[in-house]
Amino acid sequence: MTIIDGKKISEKKLKGIEDEIKKRNWVGKIGLAVIIIGGRKDSTVYVRKKMEACEKVGIKSYKIELKTTATNDMVCREIEKLNNDDKVHGILIQLPIPRHLNEEKILRKINFLKDVDGFHANNMGYLAMERREPLFIPCTPLGCFEMLKEYNIEIEGKEVVVIGKSNIVGLPMSLIMMKEMATVTVCHIKTKNIEEHTRRADILIVGVGKAHLVKKDWVKEGAVVIDIGINVLKDETRKRGYRLVGDVDYENVKSVASYITPVPGGVGPMTVCMLIKNTLKSYKNLNGY
């Protein structure tokens, strides 16, 4: 069994990005803007990690904080300002956003040329189509794909099972795998006898936010297991009173998997890394490189 070290891969890729930015004298010239709405603790942590990564490689970051009571029009006005700001090359909305807001309308407002999260309908549409390439692919699925490539894990012709069909993870993940000529099954909350599907998987990718959903007997011997889930469990033995776990019962599943991602230290660092990669790509696109 091999543990897929997302932290190590992301550090290597970020170093490459940092070196390129320095070599081309682009330090401080590339801008990423993050809009965060409301004061969710987890969102604040994620935004901080993204901004720290920007600083590390020489990208300038801008944080726009809006109150939970912000309206759709208020958010869209902020996006329009960023669309027209030549210093900003990437724009993202930190999800999830308050329920009263129209997520589809807000994401559609972002200029797809600056849509470094890859959620605009233009980017998702091109991802879904044969012989088309989106400008940007959503960061978490792209990070998973990059990890598989880094470990030379074959995708073509393999049976891939994705648990979760969200626009952020499950849907784009399944589209990427189909473009790589895998046979893809997508499972979700209405799937019956889900373990019958997962036991066929050569590559099992899980992202639903349910702690330890996937048990050892759900996984085929030798399968590759990618765990996207991040869940908080109370743990009085820890100083902070909790621990982070994935959607996979890691300690038991690792005995049958050939490759597996840990939580934390697996997919999470790669998501941030792909955001930085997309932002650099956007700068190049917008400036004709």
Known catalytic residues are 50, 94, 117
Residue 162 φ then ψ, to 5°: -110, 125
Contacts of 71 (CB under 8 A, 6+ apart): 101
Give the SS3 label for residue 226: strand
Nearest to 61 by CA among 52, 70, 72: 52
Q: Rounded to an integer, what distance in angstroms lies between the CA atom of residue 181 and that of residue 154?
A: 10
Burial class (CB in 10 A: 0-12, 13-18, 19+), 132: exposed
Structure-token pair, residue 251? 């300690």
* Sheet strands (E) in the chain: 2-3, 31-37, 60-66, 90-93, 159-163, 183-187, 203-206, 224-227, 231-234, 242-245, 259-260
Q: Rounded to an integer, what distance in angstroms lies between the CA atom of residue 154 and that of residue 38?
A: 42
